[in-house]
Amino acid sequence: MSHTAKRWSRYIIAIVIIFSLNFIIPRAMPGDPLTNLLGEDVILTDSTVAELRREMGLDRSWSQQYLDYWRGILHLDLGYSFHLHSPVSEILFSRMKWTLLLALPSLLLGGVLGTFLGALAGWRSRRKGQKMQTALFLAIYCTPPYFLCLLALYLFSFKLALFPLKGFYTTGSAADIAHHLFLPILVMTLFSLSRNYMIMRGSVLQEKSSLYAAFARAKGLYDDEILFRHVFKNALLPIITLQAMDFGFILSGALFVEIVFSMNGMGNLIYDALLSRDYPVLQGSFLIITIMVVSANLLADLLYSRLDPRVRWQ
């Protein structure tokens, strides 16, 4: 079997296993969707309860539900939400666009700035300015994201009243949306930047002690030439892995930010679906995340082979 066929078969098997776990895990959680929907104080007759469970598809055995689950996936039908009373695909689309608008700029800015600044910090690690910069980003990296959100919200929104306290928009204009998104994007960018900064710095520190860097210096190349023509490409490999994981979990990674800033995006949707045991919404959300994670890892594999000849040779 060729390397390409092995790679694709590996990803297909991973998708089948994860999709199956996506069906099993929500149903293994304690609690009943019907009880969460009606509340514990509601008293209904047994016939009414049986009819409701039949309409929700909960009266069938797990094997029948599993077959219906795969049939829905093959027909691109993600089901109907128990609590939001709407097709899951419509709910996911309406929430996903806001989460992408919040998380994509943070991921891109944090990746580019963190990689560049981290490379310079690793290459010039003995300079006093770089040490102070590293201490600053290390403090941000070690701070929980929700605490950064609370701190920024308290200082810039509550005390200084520079930004709104919650939501994605008030009037819906472009300027209004940008005003609401600026602060959460800033917090997410700082956290993403600090992670990429620390990883890239450590990778450059490791690579600059290699023999090829010493050989390039012996040829008379300047420091910046050695860094960006030789060291940078090899040090970039761990960043590609991190960016692939960040992109894969981009829809759920903004959970704490959305909760603190009261934003109705994918993070809040998954959190509410967990509390209410809304199986169709959980399944649909995790399906989208699974596809994004697998796609991001496949893209990272391809980039690895392009950047590092050793990976391509193996």
Does residue 202 sit within a domain?
yes
pLDDT digits (tens, 9 = 90+) for 148-181: 888 888 888 888 888 888 888 788 788 888 888 8
Q: Are residues 102 and 133 in the same domain?
A: yes
Q: Are residues 134 and 252 in the same domain?
A: yes
CATH number of the domain that residue 179 is part of: 1.10.3720.10
Measured CA to CA, the distance from residue 139 to residue 84 in angstroms comes to 40
Measured CA to CA, the distance from residue 173 to residue 75 in angstroms comes to 37
Does residue 87 sit within a domain?
no
Q: Are residues 112 and 68 in the same domain?
A: no
Does residue 160 sit within a domain?
yes
Q: Are residues 68 and 182 in the same domain?
A: no
Task: Place 1 in a pLDDT band, splitting at 50, 70 and 90.
Answer: low
pLDDT digits (tens, 9 = 90+) for 281-300: 888 888 888 888 888 878 87
Does residue 89 sit within a domain?
no
Burial 55-93 (b: 16+ CB within 10 A, else e): ebbeeeeeeeeeeebeebbeeeebbbbbbbeebbbebbe
Of 74, 103, 135, the last residue of a domain is 74
- How high is the pLDDT of residue 2? 64
- How high is the pLDDT of residue 113? 92
Measured CA to CA, the distance from residue 54 to residue 119 in angstroms comes to 59
The overall average pLDDT reported for the chain is 81
Does residue 86 sit within a domain?
no
Asked if 155 contacts 170 with a C-beta cutoff of 8 angstroms, the reply is no
Asked if 60 contacts 230 with a C-beta cutoff of 8 angstroms, the reply is no
Q: Are residues 56 and 124 in the same domain?
A: no
144 or 217, greater pLDDT: 144
Of 15, 44, 74, the last residue of a domain is 74
Give the DSSP letter of residue 209. Answer: T
Q: Are residues 43 and 127 in the same domain?
A: no
Does residue 106 sit within a domain?
yes
Q: DSSP letter string over 178-194?
A: HHHHHHHHHHHHHHHHH
Q: Are residues 65 and 103 in the same domain?
A: no
Percent over 70 (pLDDT), the chain? 89
pLDDT digits (tens, 9 = 90+) for 209-265: 777 776 777 777 667 777 777 778 778 888 888 887 777 777 766 777 888 888 888
Q: Are residues 68 and 156 in the same domain?
A: no
pLDDT digits (tens, 9 = 90+) for 24-79: 888 888 877 777 666 666 666 667 767 777 777 777 788 888 888 888 888 888 88
Residue with the two structure tokens 């089948």: 16
Residue type, 296: A
Q: Are residues 151 and 236 in the same domain?
A: yes
Q: Are residues 106 and 245 in the same domain?
A: yes
Q: Which two tokens stand for residue 109?
A: 């800015």
Q: Are residues 162 and 36 in the same domain?
A: no
Q: Dihedrals φ, ψ of 173, to 5°?
A: -75, 165
Task: Output the pTM of the full model.
Answer: 0.78
Q: Which domain holds residue 50?
A: 3-74
Does residue 212 sit within a domain?
yes
Q: Are residues 184 and 227 in the same domain?
A: yes
Among the residue ranges 13-17, 30-34, 101-105, 115-119, the one predicted with the least confidence is 30-34
Q: Quick check: 279 pLDDT over 70?
A: yes
Q: Quick check: 312 pLDDT over 70?
A: no
Domain count, the chain: 2
